[in-house]
Amino acid sequence: MTGHELATVCGWNKSKSSRIENARTPPSDTDIHKWCDACGVPDQAADIVAASRTAESMYMEWRRLQRTGLRHLQESRMSLYERTQHFRSYASHVVPGLFQTPAYASALLGVIGRFHDAPDDIAEAVRARMARARVLYEGRRRFAFLVEESVLRYQIGDAETMAGQLGHLLSVMSLPTVSLGIIPFGARERSMWTLEGFNIFDERRVHVELLTAQVTVTAPSEVSLYLKAFSELAELPVYGAEARGLITSAIDSLR
C-alpha cells in the first residue's frame, strides 16, 4: 500500500500519511487506530498509542529529572501514588521508598545526589518522600512488595541507620493493606532471575529505575510482561514469621 492509498483508506489528505511517517506531524490516537486498521493489524494499536503518548517521557535521564533538585522529583510523583489502588513493587538493591525511614532515605538520597551532581536539597527531598508514604495508611489501597534478601544486607548509612530501617520493616509489614515477601538467598531453582527494581501502578504503568534514567512503561504488552515477572517472582519469597526471621537476622548481624 502506498502512502496515497493509505491516506485514501483512512480518509486523510494525501500528504498526511507522509507527514506522519516522516515525523513532521504527530499522529492522534484516532490516526493510529485508522492506520493499524488499514494495515490489518488493529491489535497493535494500543501499544503504538501508548508509545506515542509517552515518547517524550518514557526514558528520562536522571540529570534532567533532578536538575531542579530531588525534592521536586519526589513531589512530582505524589499524584500518581495517590490515584494508584493496587501498587506492586520489586526491590533488588534498596529498601522500597514507601518503607524508608528518614535516616535511611537521607543517607540514600545523599549518595544519589552526590553521584548525579544534583542540587543539595536532601532535607526537603526526605520530607517529601516521607509525606508520600502516607498512602500506606489512607484509603483502601493494596500494596504487594517483593524484596530480595540482599536488600536487608546492603548497608545504607551507618549501622544505627540500617538497624532502624530494618526495624521499621518489621513494623510496616504488619499493616493490613501490606504484603511483604522476602526472597531468600537460598531460594531454590529460581523461575525468575534477579531484575532491576520496578514499581507497577495498578495495571497501567511501570517505573524501572536504571543508573542513568527512569524508564516509564505504558504499552499494554510490556506492562503485561512486568505483571508476569512479578507473578513469577511472587512464587519465591517467604512471608510472615519466616520473613521476620530474615529481617531479625540482618539486624543481629549489625551488632
Q: What is the pLDDT of residues 165-215, one digit of tens each?
A: 999 999 999 999 999 999 999 887 888 999 999 999 999 999 998 888 888
Same domain for 8 and 82, yes or no, is: no
Give the pLDDT confidence of 67-100 residue by residue, as tens digits: 667 887 788 889 999 999 999 999 999 999 999 9
Q: How far is residue 179 from each of residues 19, 47, 87, measured CA to CA in Å?
A: 50, 31, 10
Q: Is 200 exposed, middle or buried (0-12, 13-18, 19+ CB in 10 A)?
A: buried
Q: Could you tell me if 214 and 169 lie in one domain?
A: yes
Unique residue bearing C-alpha cell 501502578: 201
Domain residue limits at 34: 3-53
- Do 139 and 23 lie in one domain? The reply is no
Percent of the chain exceeding pLDDT 90 equals 60
Contact 94, 108 (CB under 8 A): yes
Number of domains in the chain: 2
The residues that bridge with 186 in the sheet, in sequence order, are none
Same domain, 75 and 9: no
- Look at residue 152 in the predicted model and tell me its pLDDT: 98
